[in-house]
Amino acid sequence: MIIVIIDLNWVIMSTQLKTPQELQADLGEGMRALRIAQKMTQKDLALKAGVSPKAVAQLERAEGSSVETLIRALRALRATDFIGNMAPQPEVSPLALLHSPRPLQRVRRRRPAPSA
């Protein structure tokens, strides 16, 4: 089992300045590091994930990969909590629940003010 501790504030600040290509390269490097830490070859990961070895290589080299390939690889590496960490559920205090009538179900656009 691999435990990775990430300071999400640092990740958010450092990733806001990167291009999509740089972020994809970081993701590929992270996937490669996870695979190597588990002593798996690209071929091993591909077999376990149900994708081609070429798809794994493209994912690691940031050469355009599908979300499905990413999810399959994360699942094979037992690292799917990465997805949950992308948008953690906010914690609400019990006192805040007392003061709010009900939780928001959706966000609505504001209507423009009527012109006179």
pLDDT at 16: 67
**pLDDT band, very low/low/confident/very high, at 21 (cuts 50, 70, 90):** confident
pLDDT at 40: 92
How far apart CA 84 and CA 66 sit, in angstroms, is 18
pLDDT at 42: 93
Report which of 61, 66, 26 is spatially closest to residue 49, judged by C-alpha positions.
66
Domain boundaries, the chain: 19-84
Q: What is the pTM of this model?
A: 0.60
pLDDT, mean of residues 32-59: 93
Q: How far apart are the first and last CA of the chain?
A: 65
Domain boundaries 19-84, corresponding CATH code? 1.10.260.40
**Does residue 48 have a pLDDT over 80?**
yes
